[in-house]
Structure 1
Amino acid sequence: MSALPPPGRPVFEPVDRIPSLAALRACVQRKDWTGVAAAFEALPDEDDRALACRVVSETDGAETFLQEVADRLPGDPLPRTLLAERLIITGWEIRSDSRAEHVSERQFRDFHAHLRRAEILLIEVCAEHPAYALAWYLRSLTARGLELGQSESRRRYDRLAEHHPHHFSGQMQLLQQLCPKWGGSWEAAHGFARECARRAPEGGPNGALVALAQIEQYVELAEKEGKSRAETYLRDPEQLTRLLEAGARSVLHPAARADAHQAVGAHNAFAAVHSAAGRHAEAAPHFRALGDAAEEFPWSYLGNHEEEFVRHRKSALAKG
């Protein structure tokens, strides 16, 4: 039996590993709305549509094109929703990833102005199309950025879940809101993650929420009590049991689709938590499933995302 080829450099950008997303970005760049609309029409999975929405919104200069289309097609929810996420992305770039005490008053003012513009668009879309997943998903981002609180964020998620109960991207957003850094609690965050994992279809990515909740608490403990205390938390047998059960029911289940785009984020989440806990053998199945596919989050929590991914992948594949 020939040896497996050595792993290559990780690919973090979805457009660099998914040809259909590269084609979608090209349509945006040449202002081909027919091509953009057809790309979304071909995506029945709402999590795939959320990823495609992000690709459009991260395209430099897309706001001019999207505004033109939204003005030309006032009854179509897609151009308004894509424009809303472009405003959200631009707003978060203005705010930066810094903690609130390091963000200037002007940054906050411009950030909130962008989010309020997006919110107006999304309110219109949700009023006209109450089951439109993309708009409800994005309203979870605006709720957090505008600091509308736990109850409003949960209300918006519940509206999304009425029609799309296992929307992984939406669940990830509410999980962030439920963490203490956004006014929630660890009890609420872990409880929501376990509930989503338990109710999701076998093989879905949703079990990774258990991993994401753990690494969020790991980061907070490392900042407040030191890395040793944070690692002790991750190595707790109860946390390990929950993580293994979630992985077995999720992306390591026989029903899991290897070609599902959301599986990349899920495998990265499981691999990052096991790696941070020093469990290289347990991380190995996730790294093998990933190959060179990677995502910046949550590896950026551990340091330089590419260096951390490569270092831990090497250790995991050597031991697992």
Structure 2
Amino acid sequence: MGKSTAGKGTDEHGRPGCSPGPVTDAFDAHPELAPLRTAAWDGDWDATRAFFAELGSPDDVSFAAGLLARVDRTEWYLEKVARSLPADPLPRTLLAERHIRIGWGIRGGARAGDVPPDQLDEFHGRLRKAELLLIEVCAEQPAYAPAWTARLLTARGLELGQSEARRRYDRLTEHHPDQPDRSDHPRHPHHFRAQSQLLQQLCPQWGGSWEAAHGFAQECVSAAPDGSHAGILVAEAHIEHWADLDDAEAAEYLRNVSVRDELRQAARISVLHPGHRRDWHWTGGHSTFALAFSLGGHAADAAQHFEALGDTSSEAFWRYLPDWRNQFTRYRADALATPRDER
């Protein structure tokens, strides 16, 4: 199977394609998100703030902030609100996320050396705008996890290096509400979006190594309770590793029995665990496992993830495939044709 780097290393969701296929827009897959999109379309700050006020965790706030950043032209009303509410961290963080989103869209999916200089300059300019906003927020409210999460994206895009990305992640974990009040306890926040962003930074494309990337995924799994999202990181790391290999190596990588077994265990303790909460990461988790198992030729393992997804999917990692929507449909049909006694 051929591979494509379209969307690779760009952002956490990619950009929508035009061919028919599963529902990939999170606003449509999760109807409870619809009020946020409506508020963004209307430039309605009161409705936007009310939506975020109802969210129960920093990870939910960060997820919704990244989603809002996808809505075109939201920077206009967010800039006005950020100026009018200079003490509120939310509008500045949302505006920073929008600058980040625009910047990554300008950059595209090529490696740094292949991006035209003018695009790279514009990309960095957007990220520097975001970084200035986020520096202010983090200085004023060092416990504001959504801002630290966004700074993991700017750190990677501005190529600030592994140490700086780790520093930012550690600052986030210092204040995360999941952190026990014990000075001798290791810091593991279970903040999935931040973990997924740091995992990207730890890949070789951004100056890391596969040992570091896989190690971090396993570290998060070990620290998290069963039923958390952490197991998804194992699948993300393996797909990134697969995508970095040449075609001959890639064809065998995900077929490896040890990799398959690692994916099975990660799925069992995350999206397939009885205690797993069906929240906004749920679609992305099942989509990632469905892709990893499908690429490895493990149709029976993929089937339960396709069944869970129904007609929805996250396109984030599927975008690594050429004509990914048709490939998704084909893989899904093959998996669901597997006899149930083989699953």
TM-score range, shorter chain: over 0.9
- Does the alignment pair 1:288 with 2:300? no
Bigger mean CA deviation after superposition, 98-107 or 122-131: 98-107
Q: Any idea what the Cα deviations from partners look like across 1:38-61, whole Å, max 9, x if unmatched?
A: 100111133322221122211111
Deviation at 1:127, TM superposition (A): 0.9
> For 2:236, which of 212, 217, 220 is the aligned residue?
212
Letter in 1 for 2:326: E
> For 2:268, which of 223, 233, 248 is the aligned residue?
248
For the residue of structure 2 that corresponds to 1:296, the secondary structure is: coil
- Does the alignment pair 1:190 with 2:214? yes
Deviation at 1:291, TM superposition (A): 1.1
Unaligned residue ranges in structure 1 (runs of 5+): 1-7
Alpha-carbon distance between aligned partners in 1 of 2:39 and 2:153, rounded to the nearest angstrom:
26
Question: Bigger relative contact order, structure 1 or 2, given CA contacts below 8 A and separation 6+?
Answer: 2
Partner of 2:32: 20
Aligned residues with identical type, % of pairs: 52
Deviation at 1:30, TM superposition (A): 1.3
- Does the alignment pair 1:168 with 2:192? yes
Partner of 1:86: 98
> For 1:238, which of 258, 267, 270 is the aligned residue?
258
Partner of 2:5: none
- Does the alignment pair 1:201 with 2:225? yes
Partner of 1:297: 316
Alpha-carbon distance between aligned partners in 1 of 2:142 and 2:327, rounded to the nearest angstrom:
42
Moved over 6 A (4+): none
Deviation at 1:108, TM superposition (A): 0.9
Alpha-carbon distance between aligned partners in 2 of 1:160 and 1:311, rounded to the nearest angstrom:
41
> For 2:130, which of 111, 118, 122 is the aligned residue?
118
Q: TM-score, normalization: structure 2?
A: 0.87
Higher helix share: 1
Aligned length: 308
Bigger mean CA deviation after superposition, 237-246 or 203-212: 237-246
Bigger mean CA deviation after superposition, 77-86 or 162-171: 162-171
Letter in 2 for 1:279: H
Alpha-carbon distance between aligned partners in 1 of 2:303 and 2:173, rounded to the nearest angstrom:
33
> For 1:139, which of 151, 165, 183 is the aligned residue?
151
Report if aligned partners of 1:193, 1:213 keep a CA contact under 8 Å in 2.
yes
Letter in 1 for 2:296: A
Bigger mean CA deviation after superposition, 43-52 or 288-297: 43-52
Alpha-carbon distance between aligned partners in 1 of 2:324 and 2:87, rounded to the nearest angstrom:
41
Unaligned residue ranges in structure 2 (runs of 5+): 1-19, 177-188
Deviation at 1:9, TM superposition (A): 4.6
Deviation at 1:316, TM superposition (A): 0.7
- Does the alignment pair 1:312 with 2:331? yes
Alpha-carbon distance between aligned partners in 1 of 2:131 and 2:112, rounded to the nearest angstrom:
21
Report if aligned partners of 1:47, 1:262 keep a CA contact under 8 Å in 2.
no
RMSD, aligned CA: 1.4
Alpha-carbon distance between aligned partners in 1 of 2:197 and 2:269, rounded to the nearest angstrom:
21
